[in-house]
């Protein structure tokens, strides 16, 4: 078992966390809204903290929300240079005859990747989606295997895809939590393509179709993402909104109507913005403190975090945050950059709200023979 010692409220650490002097009274938090949907979740984009959730890990049909994963793979292929937006895709008979929502591409014709992407994102075209899948993987079945591998890579632990469109099929499922994970990563990794999710309409082949995400008209803070519907899945919506620097991601699965999924999503994100706030506490690779390192070429080892730390807390409670660290009782050289040296804990009213590993921010080689012997004696005395 790894042993630690606790350094409660290190001044340097606290100065980075708590800026206000006086503590504020606890806020009165109303109950989260109860939504008319099978499952749902609301998470903060930066902290990934769930603000509201219900049956978020229950496996459900995703309908056309599946196309978020399809788009993710297409965007990844673009980033890797395996695909270009102006590449031409030949439309297969399978893509052309697929039912459901359509972009109205024509069999045998060649269509640009960008047009197929916008047809899939804005119009939810099943034909455009399959054309993209076949162009990348040869067949939709192989593309589905790519989707499942990508889901595993992204930590979507309760998802399995059988097709690229979301048409009902046995063993085709995901969860609200997995979709929130996918949406966050999509927005973070592909901001240059995410903008298409805000388009209110798209015209192809002389046919103009509107985006089915009603919130693009109702709430100017909403800038994406995707709707879905089948008779068995109900009405579904993944949405993201940003207000005053805070971004939220919501997932509603199995609502009762098209208008209902928009109203329930609006209630969810309004609750999150009204009663919660997100703060950046520490930047990645920023020295939060130093630790004594024994038998090394230097005596002080800077420690910090591998990733930027955000916390999402009830509004008005930022001055009440407390921070403490736990370090290994003895740190000896050599040490490698990125090596775990302890943890930092952030608490509010005695409740842990965040905990992250602390890492060495530089390599430290062993010191000379004399300095190692001196440190050995000092360690014996210390212990």
Q: Which residues are catalytic?
A: 64, 67, 124
Place of tokens 């939060």: 288
Can you name the residues that pair with 342 across neighbouring β-strands?
327, 358
**Pairing of the two strands 331-332 and 289-294:** parallel
CA separation for the pair 190, 79 (Å, rounded): 9
Q: Is the dihedral of CA 43, 49, 52, 54 positive or negative?
A: positive
Rounded-to-10 torsion of CA 234, 265, 156, 162? 30
Ramachandran area for residue 54 (φ above 0: left; ψ -120 to 50: alpha; else beta): beta
What letter does residue 195 receive in the DSSP assignment? G
What letter does residue 5 receive in the DSSP assignment? E
Residue closest to 272 by CA, chosen among 57, 56, 51, 63: 51
Contact indicator for 114, 133 with CB cutoff of 8 Å: no
For residue 279, the tally of other CB atoms under 10 A from its CB is: 18
CA separation for the pair 327, 72 (Å, rounded): 39
CA separation for the pair 327, 18 (Å, rounded): 21
**CA 50, chain centre distance (Å):** 11
Place of tokens 């990563």: 185
CA separation for the pair 275, 254 (Å, rounded): 25
Element (H, E) at 321: strand 321-327
HSE toward the beta carbon, residue 310, CA cutoff 13 A: 16
CA separation for the pair 21, 90 (Å, rounded): 65
Q: How is residue 124 written in tokens?
A: 């939810």
């Amino acid at each position: 078992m790894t042993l630690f010692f606790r350094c409660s409220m290190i001044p340097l650490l606290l100065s980075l966390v708590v800026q206000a002097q006086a503590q504020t009274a606890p806020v009165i938090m109303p109950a989260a809204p109860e939504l008319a949907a099978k499952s749902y979740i609301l998470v903060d984009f930066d902290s990934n903290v769930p603000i509201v959730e219900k049956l978020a890990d229950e496996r459900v049909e995703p309908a056309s929300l599946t196309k978020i994963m399809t788009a993710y793979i297409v965007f990844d292929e673009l980033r890797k240079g395996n695909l270009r937006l102006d590449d031409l895709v030949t439309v297969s008979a399978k893509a052309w005859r697929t039912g459901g929502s359509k972009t109205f591409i024509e069999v045998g014709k060649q269509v640009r990747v960008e047009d197929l992407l916008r047809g899939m994102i804005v119009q939810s075209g099943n034909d455009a989606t399959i054309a993209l899948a076949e162009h990348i993987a040869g067949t939709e079945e192989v593309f589905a295997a790519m989707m499942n591998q990508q889901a595993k890579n992204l930590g979507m632990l309760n998802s399995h895809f059988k097709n690229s469109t979301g048409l009902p099929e046995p063993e085709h499922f995901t969860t609200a939590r997995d979709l929130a994970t996918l949406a966050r990563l999509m927005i973070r990794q592909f901001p240059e393509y995410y903008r298409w999710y805000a388009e209110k309409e798209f015209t192809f082949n002389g046919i103009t179709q509107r985006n089915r995400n009603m919130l693009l008209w109702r709430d100017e803070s909403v800038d994406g993402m995707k709707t879905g519907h089948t008779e068995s899945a109900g009405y579904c919506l993944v949405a993201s909104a940003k207000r005053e620097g805070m971004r939220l991601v919501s997932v509603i699965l199995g609502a009762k109507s098209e208008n209902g999924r928009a109203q329930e999503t609006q209630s969810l994100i309004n609750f999150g913005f009204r009663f919660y706030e997100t703060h950046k506490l520490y930047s990645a690779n920023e020295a939060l403190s130093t630790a004594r390192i024994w038998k090394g070429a230097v005596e002080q080892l800077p420690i910090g975090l591998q990733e930027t730390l955000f916390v999402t807390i009830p509004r008005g409670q930022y001055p009440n945050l407390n921070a403490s660290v736990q370090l290994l009782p003895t740190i000896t050289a050599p040490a490698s950059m990125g090596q775990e040296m302890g943890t930092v804990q952030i608490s509010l009213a005695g409740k842990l709200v965040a905990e992250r590993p602390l890492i060495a921010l530089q390599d430290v080689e062993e010191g000379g023979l004399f300095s190692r012997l001196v440190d050995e004696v000092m360690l014996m005395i210390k212990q």
